[in-house]
Structure 1
């Protein structure tokens, strides 16, 4: 029975692609997220570029709940597809905004380039010590035969971990890690941290000074704001304008939201309220 349902689904995906080939039309409105994602995969196989791009847009706009519910599958499948930048960027933004997606035990180990691109994002919404813990656990997973019990590690084990995570360490925003967490969770891995970076960290935590530029500033995504007029996303955009930062620091989704609604609804309500009071 299950096999029959799968065959019917595959036939449906095949039919949608054939329909597009012969008519130039595609109707996705009544299809499930799973079926639509299947159309994306098959349209990539048949090199149907316009349909491929259309399905990406449809998934992002209409199937956000399904994507979140099946995030690991969508994420890894998407990054195996060529020219799927829209959905890849959307997945990266979802991970940067929801730390549970990033740290979920059900989420498979990230590939090296994906982890690097994620950690370098300024808008990553995650506690920095959590990012550090994730990096350490990720590094351990990459080394065959290395367990999590540090009391059993040799100098060679620390060197192996150092070689695995050294390129990622400059991406950790240590300024957002408390002295207590640094002592308990970072210091034990001193041997796996490049010496010049660790010396700079010690200077920062002991003297509260930064003489070099190895340590990155806090992420813009961690900006906290208490306001009934604007949300944190809009606050980050305004802060970037004030600081005259490169607008590339602002996520594409934030910019599109701002363009679609240049005056937030809350501000418009505030304006109307003030007029009535006069």
Structure 2
């Protein structure tokens, strides 16, 4: 039989914080008006925190007389008291308190607190979480220990970014958070709108800019350019339509680098590619499936994400994909490598089409369920198939875009 008195032990350790007369550590936490001085024992701090274990055994720990002195202005007295005593009553804490406690636990390397605090915020504070999502993301973005919280934020934000980008919290984001967001392929927002939000954030974070753009001086544009110089290269401006470029980017051309302006000028002055026909000219399927396309995930020199989504609706379920569910981001889209163009698609007698020199081929056209074979292959930039095996194909459709030769007079 064994008896354990952990509750009593915790109370005893808590009293040591209040009535310590043989302390050898002073910890100054918070800022005025929330400021407090804690007197503690190094042996308890070493046992409680990896941070203090390292700090108290290093040369950079400052001493006043016989006591080690630490200053933690970014941790409030209430949070530090909870961290040291180990008595945490989450039901009595609001979301901001729990988040502050999580950040303190991360800084003091209290690993046993980090996981349950993240779980509590995700599972039990859903309403508060969504209302403060951008602020939470901004707080944890560079804290690897808070990865679960960060990923949960992104899983909510990326499919529906507009409600969060329209909030006042957006313009208060740190630069590192903005950079991370605009660089994500799964952000469901096209480049023209993303550019507008980026300009809004940049203007809000550049002091003394006037509301009237026509009144801006060269110095004003230069200041905005400095604010956004790390973000602009992440916006895929070449994906914009000519109209969007002229309307939304050209007024701010002075914040672009000379090289980028030259490349964009050449790109947008080329002969435009004819638009795809309007869907009304074709007969769409009666109830088109809800295709999921990330506007930023389409890496094509031929079509935009909107045109890709339109084509996917026309062809309904006839898209080559390994996914059983209709998620078009899981489809195998790829360009042929530059030195393998002859192997892009081939036809052989008695067989169906093959791609990438037999990397993906239809073996028998006669059978109702056509036999197919796929290998890893090297001709396409992305593998068409991950496995080397036989499989069935219910149906397929192949089309090719051919450049029309100009008639010579």
Matches within 5 A, 1:5-154: 14=82, 18-19=86-87, 34=95, 37=99, 40-41=102-103, 43-44=105-106, 47-60=109-122, 63-79=125-141, 83-99=145-161, 100-154=163-217
Match of 2:328 in 1: 235
Helix, strand or coil at the partner of 2:222 = helix
Matches within 5 A, 1:186-201: 186-201=249-264
In the TM superposition, what is the alpha-carbon distance from 1:182 to its structure 2 partner?
Answer: 0.9
Match of 1:162 in 2: 225
* Aligned counterparts of 2:255 and 2:171: Cα–Cα separation in 1: 24
* Aligned counterparts of 2:221 and 2:101: Cα–Cα separation in 1: 46
TM-score, normalised with respect to structure 2 = 0.45
In the TM superposition, what is the alpha-carbon distance from 1:41 to its structure 2 partner?
Answer: 4.7
Contact map agreement 2:190 2:296 (CA 8 A) in 1: no
In the TM superposition, what is the alpha-carbon distance from 1:171 to its structure 2 partner?
Answer: 0.9
TM-score, normalised with respect to structure 1 = 0.63
* Aligned counterparts of 1:42 and 1:157: Cα–Cα separation in 2: 39
Contact map agreement 1:14 1:42 (CA 8 A) in 2: no
* Aligned counterparts of 1:86 and 1:102: Cα–Cα separation in 2: 22
Per-residue CA shift, 1:32-80, capped at 9, x if unaligned?
Answer: 8737546535644664312212332443455444411232442344348
* Aligned counterparts of 1:175 and 1:240: Cα–Cα separation in 2: 20
Distance 1:154 1:41, change over 3 A: closer
**Which one of 242, 247, 261 corresponds to residue 179 of structure 1?**
242
In the TM superposition, what is the alpha-carbon distance from 1:19 to its structure 2 partner?
Answer: 4.7
Match of 2:16 in 1: none
Helix, strand or coil at the partner of 1:146 = coil
Distance 1:164 1:46, change over 3 A: closer
* Aligned counterparts of 1:58 and 1:243: Cα–Cα separation in 2: 43
Relative contact order higher in (CA < 8 Å, ≥ 6 apart): 1
Q: Which has the larger radius of gyration?
A: 2
Distance 1:73 1:155, change over 3 A: closer
* Aligned counterparts of 1:78 and 1:84: Cα–Cα separation in 2: 6
Distance 1:57 1:103, change over 3 A: same
* Aligned counterparts of 1:69 and 1:161: Cα–Cα separation in 2: 29
Number of residue equivalences = 219
* Aligned counterparts of 1:132 and 1:66: Cα–Cα separation in 2: 29
In the TM superposition, what is the alpha-carbon distance from 1:194 to its structure 2 partner?
Answer: 0.8
* Aligned counterparts of 1:60 and 1:182: Cα–Cα separation in 2: 40
User: Quick check: which one's strand share is greater?
Assistant: 2
In the TM superposition, what is the alpha-carbon distance from 1:107 to its structure 2 partner?
Answer: 3.4
Distance 1:19 1:165, change over 3 A: closer
Contact map agreement 1:72 1:108 (CA 8 A) in 2: no
Contact map agreement 2:138 2:174 (CA 8 A) in 1: no
Match of 1:220 in 2: 297
CA RMSD of aligned residues (A): 3.8
In the TM superposition, what is the alpha-carbon distance from 1:201 to its structure 2 partner?
Answer: 1.2
User: Quick check: which one's helix share is greater?
Assistant: 1
Contact map agreement 1:95 1:102 (CA 8 A) in 2: no
Per-residue CA shift, 1:2-21, capped at 9, x if unaligned?
Answer: xxxxxxxx79x949x7357x
Contact map agreement 1:95 1:101 (CA 8 A) in 2: yes
Contact map agreement 1:33 1:59 (CA 8 A) in 2: no
Any gaps of 5 or more consecutive residues in structure 1? 1-9, 21-26, 210-217, 246-278
Contact map agreement 2:185 2:296 (CA 8 A) in 1: yes
Distance 1:117 1:106, change over 3 A: closer
Match of 1:260 in 2: none
